[in-house]
Structure 1
Amino acid sequence: MSDIREDRQYTETHEWILDNGDGTYTMGITDHAQALLGDMVFVELPGEGDEVSAEDEFCVVESVKAASGVYAPTDLEVVEANDALDSEPELVNTSCYDDGWLVKFKADSIDGLIDSAAYSETLD
């Protein structure tokens, strides 16, 4: 059973988004996604200030099994990347919702995301 946090919104491509309450959002991959991928060995993150269009791949998480793209849920501007992942990509496995976040970003809106209950139904 995957850990799904109720305080976040989700995409059907297994990313989570947390509203930080200050006009920024934090994003990572879900527990379900990290479990499917297996042990992380490398995470490629965008740079601060990068602007990304909705649905574009802008991060790559690489595990012992496969490399997988992470997609922008909306048009966004990266305000911070989790530099800890450069030396500790396994944080995505051990703490995907806390220490293993990928990026913080600004966006005009995050419409079109689903809540935890709807995300849970996509896994059934």
Structure 2
Amino acid sequence: MAEAFKFELVSPERLLVSEEVQSVVIPGAEGEMTVLANHAPVMTTIKPGVVTVKTVTGADERYVVFGGFADILPSGCTLLAESAVPVASIDREDLARRIQDAREDAADAKDDETKTRAEAFLNQLTTLEAAL
């Protein structure tokens, strides 16, 4: 069994997870990353996606996150999400609304930089929708 470490998943609404886990897969801005005990210190932004938590019992728990930051230390990992919910309780209508809003933001962008960011966020949301 892999060594356990402390993991916390926090959204503005509530603390979703605070427990010892074996591993966490995070949708980092530069790609997915797996966090294990004694991981090198890293701070990264999180893109919309699915966080997979392997508990000490070996069960997988999945959470949808809509952006945020992860602070990874050898002793643990804290993920501060802009919004997060368990995959089982994802509101598909809410996701569809977020995608529509992102489409409108991309269409209404006034400059290239804003348009590029809006299109990247839209791409992340549609990828998330396909993954669910």
**TM superposition score normalised by structure 2:** 0.32
Which structure's CA Rg is the greater one? Answer: 2
Give the structure, 1 or 2, with the largest relative contact order (CA under 8 Å, sep 6 or more).
Answer: 1
Q: Higher strand fraction: Structure 1 or Structure 2?
A: 2
Q: Higher helix fraction: Structure 1 or Structure 2?
A: 2
**TM superposition score normalised by structure 1:** 0.34
